[in-house]
Amino acid sequence: MMTRGDVLLLRPLAAYGDVGLLLLRLVTGAFLIYQSHDNIFSAARMDEFVKFLTQFGFPYPEFMAPLCVWAQFLCGIAFILGLLTRWAGLITVFTFVVAVYMVHWPQDFAGWWPALILVFLGILFATEGPGRYSIDARMR
């Protein structure tokens, strides 16, 4: 029997937390793949990204560009599959903390938002894990 507190606090929705994590992993993974795939499959786009990193003063941009792009792409796949999700979360946190600091720092809050949200999604996935609907859960 549900109490008033259950209704007020919407406690029955907690039963769907794993579905929420799955949906969040899917959309986050799809976004990371979408924003990185063109640099992986096009040398010209990778060259543009190297120039972008150079413009913002990144050290070793010829090394950092592919490292960053592949990290995003592989983390996107990991999130979708729910595979090594906590590691993918930590890598995402690191990647986008660097992006906020090196690229978005002089911008206003709206400019920070896309990279900042990925920092906090990475924190969520690193701390909460992928949920029940994942390869990680099956490996336990």
- What is the number of structural domains in the chain? 1
As a whole number of angstroms, the distance between CA 130 and CA 140 comes to: 12
Q: What is the pLDDT of residues 109-122, one digit of tens each?
A: 999 999 999 999 99
Pair 91, 71: CB distance under 8 Å: yes
Residue 11 lies in a domain: no
Q: Rounded to two decimals, what is the model's pTM? A: 0.92
Residue 84 lies in a domain: yes
Q: What does pLDDT average to over the chain? A: 95
Cβ-based neighbours of 2, under 8 Å, separated by 6 or more: 11, 12
Residue 25 lies in a domain: yes
Residue 78 lies in a domain: yes
Q: What is the pLDDT of residues 29-72, one digit of tens each?
A: 999 999 999 999 999 999 999 999 999 999 999 999 999 999 99
